[in-house]
Structure 1
């Protein structure tokens, strides 16, 4: 059994950016954990921080059930206050070691966008450097080998993200959409309010309309496009790649374990032989 850790800044980001890949790994019998480095308590247009943090934790657990994710941990850090510090780096390092991660999926650590997202990416990058270093102590034993590290795209990284690896998530699309819908405070409320289509949001619990709503408004993180085809063809073959309708895209991080194609396929057993 392989162990994958997806690290993001806010609850709902692992689901929209890597939820399909997580579901595929879980269905294949592997262990996947989601970790967010803030509790998301700023992300609403009328709810106060404490009730919002509680609600978002409940939504996260529902999302984990939809995907088959083994664990979902949320740091008690206020949304909007995540900083790149030695203390936070060591906490991330402890999380990576504690999960005994074979694969770590993280946000990009550089570029524009939400400061928490960039900080989360930087913290993972900096922590992984010490994953095997025994004298950097965290209370968790060092890993025997560096994990394979991937970066997932977010809304601010679309312009520079390198889609070197793409996963066909069509077989688990409904699970991914349901995981997003579990975060009703975000997909049906706050983000819809921010982006000006709150009046179009369906009622919570309307799965058919809800899936269609998320699929329409978050298409860049769901649909396979021409930019995905080369990476899809490299691992699924050109014929399969041409048929893929929904995909998730990842870059091979310059940090962590550098692998050849055989080891990549071993650590991410998602592709046909």
Structure 2
């Protein structure tokens, strides 16, 4: 009997570190939710590429088809074009991309849209959910942010959208970066250096041709004749338009926190995230496990 007990405890002692090792090697499921095709590419494209390179599963979800975002075309023709662009961007980043049929410019935080979001988060078995903050210049962005907030708790409630099984644990919900100050500025809780994948991110953005080289320039008063025609020239033009990032004090502090051995003066590009008060509240150690690229030079 004593021998059996000893063997039991030996099994426990051996098994515990194995459990820890398996946790560290867990494949993560990340879903980023924006209002339009290209929203997540702008704000999270670099980090998404890093996750994908490490073997994790990343999905971008656009809550509208983007069928209003152009000066010369719209409706179903534009929606199809933007879906095709999103597919190309997904291939470049190594991720999945889904574009819903809700109309661009008309997104509201209705029960129907909330249920669409809950189902996608559950189906993806998400460990991390990223959304937009609810203070933004575009009503679709604001409402997309509200919908994700509304879903944050309900993804674990069995009787809400009972056609999809609830998650067993609440994911970590995060906001993607914006520069709006009112009613409160963005909190740079997590910083991810993306220098190694910046070209990949920009190439993915360039795949959204209707937005980067047509609609975006038009809304900013740039003439069509000023936009290059060739792919290489367009990519260079897009990079030049983005410019070299300059980091404020809070961004520098965030980079130093998560990359203590990195010389911040050598960092050119980074993406920042804010921890949402809804959903799981992660410790620093949990954040490091959820973002295994942190600290890597």
Normalised TM-score (structure 2):
0.85
Question: Given the alignment of the two structures, is residue 33 of structure 1 paired with residue 59 of structure 2, yes or no?
Answer: yes
Q: 2:245 aligns with which of 207, 223, 231?
A: 223
Whether 1:121 aligns to 2:107 is no
Structure 1 residues 119 and 157, CA gap change in structure 2 (3 angstroms): farther
Tell me, yes or no, if structure 1 residue 11 matches structure 2 residue 11: no
Alignment of 1:141-160 (within 5 A): 141-154=165-178, 156=180, 160=185
C-alpha separation in 1, matches of 2:242 and 2:216: 10
2:159 corresponds to: 135
Distance 1:161 1:213 in 2: 28
- 1:66 aligned counterpart, secondary structure: helix
After superposition, the Cα gap between the structure-2 partners of 1:235 and 1:155, relative to the gap in structure 1 and judged at 3 Å, is closer
How far, CA to CA, are the matches of 2:283 and 2:90 in structure 1?
31
Question: Aligned with 1:76: secondary structure?
Answer: strand
Instruction: Look up the match of 2:90.
Output: 64
| Cα deviation 1:224-272 (Å, max 9, x = unaligned) | 5134211010011163333110011111111111010111111111112
Equivalent of residue 212 in structure 1, options 227, 231, 236: 236
CA distance in 2, matches of 1:218, 1:149: 27
Unmatched 5+ stretches in structure 1: none
Contact 1:181/1:211, CA 8 A, preserved across alignment: yes
Shift of 1:157: 6.5
What SS class does the counterpart of residue 143 from structure 2 fall into? helix
Distance in 1, matches of 2:176 and 2:203, equals: 20
Q: CA RMSD in A?
A: 1.8
Q: Structure 2: how far apart are the matches of 1:162 and 1:217?
A: 25
| 2: CA distance, partners of 1:52 / 1:213 | 24
Return the alpha-carbon distance in structure 1 between the equivalents of residues 94 and 189 of structure 2.
26
Determine if contact 1:174/1:211 at 8 Å carries over to the other structure.
no
Residue 73 in structure 1 maps to residue 98 in structure 2: yes
Q: Which runs of 5+ in 2 are unaligned?
A: 1-26
TM-score normalised by structure 1 residue count: 0.92
Instruction: Give the conservation status (yes or no) of the 8 Å contact 2:180–2:186.
Output: no
State the number of aligned residues: 267
Q: Which has the larger radius of gyration?
A: 2
- 2:243 counterpart of 1:243: no
> What are the residue-to-residue correspondences of 1:257-268 with 2, within 5 Å?
257-268=280-291
CA distance in 2, matches of 1:79, 1:206: 27
**Is the CA contact (8 Å cut-off) linking 1:82 and 1:120 kept in structure 2?**
yes
- Report the alpha carbon displacement of residue 156 of structure 1 after superposing the two structures with TM: 5.0
